[in-house]
Amino acid sequence: MNKNNLKIAFMGRLFTVMMVGAIFAASSAVSYAQEGASDEKKYDFGLAIRDLVSSDRRVLSLENQLLAAEEDLKAAKFKLFPSLSVTGDAGREFIDSPSKRSSGSDGSNLFRENIGATLTQKIFDPSLYSSIRTSSISVDILKSTLQTTKSTVLLDGLVAYFELIKSYKNFGYQISKEKLVKQLLNIESIRVDQGSGLAVDELQARSALQAAAQQTVISRGQYRSASERFRGFFGDFDIEELLEAEIKISDFDGEIDDFVAEWIDRNPQIYQLQQAVLLANEARKSSENSFLPTLSLDGAANWEKDAGGELSIRRDWSILLKLNWALSPDLLPSSKSASARALAAVDDLKSTEDILSRELKANVESYKAAASAVLFARNTLNIAEEIYKAQQKKSAEGQLTEVELVGALMGVFDARVNFITAKYDRNILRATIYNDLGVLDLGKVVPDA
C-alpha cells in the first residue's frame, strides 16, 4: 500500500473513531435529558395522575352511587323509629238517612271538622331488619369497588407513563444506532471505491443498515402508539419535562412471596365477592321472612265536630297491638330463587379466587424474572461500555478495524435497550401486582432518583 493510501486509511479510521464517539455521547444524553432542562416550567406528573384518578368517569359514578347507597342506609335505619301520620278535613257534610227521614227530618247539613293522628312503632318486622343489613352490605361493596376502581385507573395511567418513557428512550437509541450504521456504510463504500476495502464488507454494512432502519421504524411506531395512549389519559405533554422528574414504583416490603401471602386474603376483589355472598344470603333470608307476620304498636287520637250528622264534639283515642300476616302463592318459588342465587354467589367467589390466584402467581413469577433481567441487563451494559472504551483506545492506536469498533458500540446500544426495557417492565409488573392485591395507591409512586 502506497503512502497516499496509508494516509487515507489512517484518516478514515480517525474519522470513524471521532464519529462513533460523538454518536455514543449523543445517545448517552437520551437517558439524561433532564440535565440542563429549564426550571421555568416543570411538568408535575404526580398532580396529573391525581387528577386522572379523581376525574375519571368510573370513579365519579361510583362516588355518586356510594353517596346514594349511604342515604338509602340512613333511610332504612330511620324506619326503626316511630312514624307519625296526621290527617284532617273540614267542609260541608250533608247526610240523608232512613233514620232521619223517619223522624221527619230532611237530613243534616252541617259544617264538619275532623283532625286525627296515628303514631306507629314497629315491634317485629323481619323485612325491615333485612333491608338495613342489605343496605349496609351494599355500602361496603361500593366502598371497596371505589377503591379497586381508583387502583385500576391509577394502574392504567402508570402503565401509559412507563410505556411512553421506555419507548422514547429505546427510539432514541435506535436512531443513534441507525446513524452509526449509515456512517459505517459510507466508510466501507469509500474504501471499496479506493480499492482498500472488500465488497462483502460493504454488503454487510448495507444489510446492517437495512436491519437498523427496520428496527427504527418499529421503535418509532411503538413510541407514537405510546404517545397517543398517554395523551388519551393526560392530554398534551412535553417529553423533556416528563424526563425531568421520573418516577418509579416502590419495591415490596421484604420478599415478594411473603408480601403476597400477607395481603392476598385482604384483596378487595375477594372482599367484594364475599360481601356479594352475604348480600345474596340476606336476599334469601328476606324471602324466607316473607312467611312471617309483622307486629306493630299503634297509638291513635281523633277529634271531630259535627261529624256524621251529629251536632256535637267527639274525642277518642286508642293504643292497639296490630298483627299483620300476608301469605301469597308466589312466596315459595321466590324463596327457592333466592336460595339458588346465594349458591351462585358462592360459586362466583370460588371461581374468582382461583382466577386471581393463578394470575397473581403468574405475575409474581414474571416479576421475579424481570427483576433478574434488570440485574443481568445492568451488568451486561456495564461490561459493554467497558469493552467499547477499550476498543476505542485500540482503534485510535490503529490496532482495531472500524467494523470491530462499530460492533462494540452496537453492543452498547443493544445492552441499553435491554436494560431500559427490563427496568420499565419491572415497574409495570410491580404496579400490576400491587393492583392485584388491592394496595396500589399514590403512596407507591416515588421519585426515580
75 in the same domain as 111: no
Q: What is the CATH number of the domain that holds 392?
A: 1.20.1600.10
List, as one string, the DSSP characters of 259-317.
HHHHHGGG-HHHHHHHHHHHHHHHHHHHHHHTTS-EEEEEEEEEEEES-TT-SSEEEEE
150 in the same domain as 299: no
Where is pLDDT greater, at 198 or 395?
395
119 in the same domain as 59: no
239: left (phi over 0), alpha (psi -120 to 50) or beta: alpha
CB-based contact 297:324 (threshold 8 Å): no
In terms of Cβ atoms closer than 10 Å to its own Cβ (0-12, 13-18, 19+), residue 38 is exposed
C-beta atoms surrounding 228 within 10 Å? 11
Q: 175-209: per-residue pLDDT in tens?
A: 988 888 887 777 777 777 666 666 666 677 777 78
119 in the same domain as 105: yes
Where is pLDDT greater, at 282 or 298?
298
30: left (phi over 0), alpha (psi -120 to 50) or beta: alpha
Domain that holds residue 177: 3-81+126-291+334-447
Residue 395 reports pLDDT greater than 60: yes
Q: 210-241: per-residue pLDDT in tens?
A: 888 898 999 999 999 999 999 999 888 888 88
Residue 419 reports pLDDT greater than 60: yes
28 in the same domain as 97: no
In terms of Cβ atoms closer than 10 Å to its own Cβ (0-12, 13-18, 19+), residue 398 is exposed
346 in the same domain as 399: yes
Cα–Cα distance measured from residue 174 to residue 420, given in angstroms and rounded to the nearest whole number: 13
139 in the same domain as 24: yes
pLDDT tier, 7 (very low <50, low <70, confident <90, very high otherwise): very low
pLDDT tier, 269 (very low <50, low <70, confident <90, very high otherwise): confident
238 in the same domain as 181: yes
The mean pLDDT of the chain is 81
**What would the mean pLDDT of 116-139 be, rounded to a whole number?**
89
Provide the number of structural domains found in the chain: 2
pLDDT tier, 334 (very low <50, low <70, confident <90, very high otherwise): low
pLDDT for residue 4: 47
172 in the same domain as 135: yes
The residue written with cell numbers 455521547 in the block is 25
Q: What is the CATH number of the domain that holds 113?
A: 2.20.200
pLDDT for residue 40: 47
198 in the same domain as 51: yes
In the chain, % helix, strand, coil (3-state, to 5) comes to: 70, 15, 15
43: left (phi over 0), alpha (psi -120 to 50) or beta: beta
153 in the same domain as 89: no
> Containing H/E element for 89?
strand 83-95
Q: Give the residue from 275, 304, 326 where a domain finishes.
A: 326
pTM for this model (two decimals): 0.75
299 in the same domain as 348: no
